[in-house]
Amino acid sequence: MSKVKFNLRDITSKNDTLIMMIFYYNGKKIRLSTGKSINPKYWNKKKNRAKELMEFPIHNSLNQFLEKKSTDINEIYTQYINDDDYIDSDVLKTKIKNCLKGILLKEKTKKMKEDKEVLLSVALEYKEKYNKCSWLKPMRKYNYYKLWQSSKDLILKSWIKELKQ
C-alpha cells in the first residue's frame, strides 16, 4: 500500500520553509521537495496542509496543489506497479520528481498532441471555408473571421492551461 504525506523541512523555522513530500510504499520511502514553501505558523501539523486562515489567503490554492500532487503520485505508482513486476526505486523517484516539477507524463503529452492535431485540422478546415466564402456579404465575412479567430484563441488558451497543470 502506498501513502503520500507532506511535512515541513524545518518546523521550528521563523521564516518560510520548504514543504517536503514523503511517499511510502512497500516499507520504503521517497522524500522530495515540492518546490513550495510556507511559514510554519500557517501549517496544520495534524492535517499536513496549510491552515485555512484569512491572514494566509493562498491556503486554498496551496492545499489544492498538494492534493493534486498526492493524487498524481498515487496514480503514477499504481500505473508503475501495473506495468512492471519489479519496482526500481530510482525510476519511481524520477517519475515522482517529474510530477512534482510539473513535467507532464508521456501519456498526457501524447493525448494532448492527438487532441491538438484534431483541433488544428478543424481550425484549418474552418479557415478554408472562410476563404471560400465569396458569397458572404463583407460584414458577415468579417463576423465569420472573428468567430474563427476567437475559436483559435480559445483552443490555444486551453492548450496553455493544460500544459501548466
Exposure class string for 82-106: b at 16+ Cβ within 10 A, else e? eeeeeeeeeebeebbeebbeeebee
- Answer with the one of 101, 123, 154 that is the final residue of a domain: 101
Domain boundaries, position 135: 106-164
The confidence score (pLDDT) of residue 132 equals 65
Enumerate residue ranges in the chain where pLDDT < 50. 104
How many structural domains compose the chain? Answer: 2
Within 8 A by CB and 6+ apart from 159, the residues are 112, 116
Tell whether 67 and 147 lie within a shared domain: no
Whether residues 114 and 94 fall in one domain: no
Can you give the pLDDT at residue 91? 83
User: In this predicted structure, what is the pLDDT of residue 114?
Assistant: 65
Q: Are residues 22 and 56 in the same domain?
A: yes
Q: Answer yes or no: do 81 and 126 share one domain.
A: no
Check residue 56 and give its pLDDT: 87
